[in-house]
């Protein structure tokens, strides 16, 4: 990831209180029992605001007129609802989800602040020595566990191979 971030998110660790924690080199993560999600520190302080106070005077039509796209972006983002997240130089609208190769699946969580979350696409497995990892299937990103029949592999609810 850009800006000196670790290339992979840390694995969640359960503390004595039963909560899952994620820490890595001072970067801010949110986690559950399967994934650590990286919050975009470079965008978290950016606030989507109108640079001029009279955007309403121009009417909503200016927001959708392609002639004024750059002007709206510069002056009336909040009024026009065009707040967004920027990830590796690409603009994403609030609620939009995208993949960063086979590493992360990201969502623009808050267009007003530019905050996005990125989750590791592949599960991190803690398997017994009797198991191995198969290479990703054609068109997929993630390795899959290969274990003897006496070892049951538990996938999380709702898991979809990516």
Where b means 16+ CB within 10 Å and e means fewer, 55-68 reads: beebeeebbeeeeb
118's tokens: 């990125």
Please state the pTM of the whole predicted model. Answer: 0.54
Distance, in Å, from the CA atom of 57 to the CA atom of 47, rounded to the nearest integer, reads: 22
- For residue 121, the SS3 value is coil
The confidence band for 74, taking pLDDT boundaries of 50, 70 and 90, is confident
The alpha carbon of 40 is separated from its chain's Cα centroid by a whole number of angstroms, namely 8
List, for residues 93-105, the tens digit of each pLDDT value: 888 999 999 989 9
List, for residues 23-73, the tens digit of each pLDDT value: 444 444 445 444 455 544 444 445 678 899 999 999 999 999 999 988 988
């Amino acid at each position: 990831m850009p800006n000196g971030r670790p290339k992979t998110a840390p694995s969640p660790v359960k503390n004595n209180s039963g909560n899952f924690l994620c820490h890595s080199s001072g970067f801010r993560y949110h986690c559950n029992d399967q994934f650590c999600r990286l919050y975009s520190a470079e965008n978290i302080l950016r606030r989507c605001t109108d640079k001029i106070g009279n955007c309403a005077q121009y009417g909503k039509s200016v927001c959708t007129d392609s002639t004024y796209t750059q002007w709206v972006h510069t002056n009336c983002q909040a009024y026009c609802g065009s707040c967004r997240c920027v990830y590796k130089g690409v603009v994403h609208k609030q609620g939009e989800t995208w993949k960063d190769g086979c590493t992360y699946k990201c969502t623009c969580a808050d267009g007003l602040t530019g905050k996005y979350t990125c989750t590791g696409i592949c599960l991190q497995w803690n398997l017994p020595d009797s198991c191995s990892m198969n290479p990703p299937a054609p068109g997929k990103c993630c390795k899959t566990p290969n274990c003897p029949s006496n070892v049951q592999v538990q996938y999380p609810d709702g898991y979809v191979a990516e």
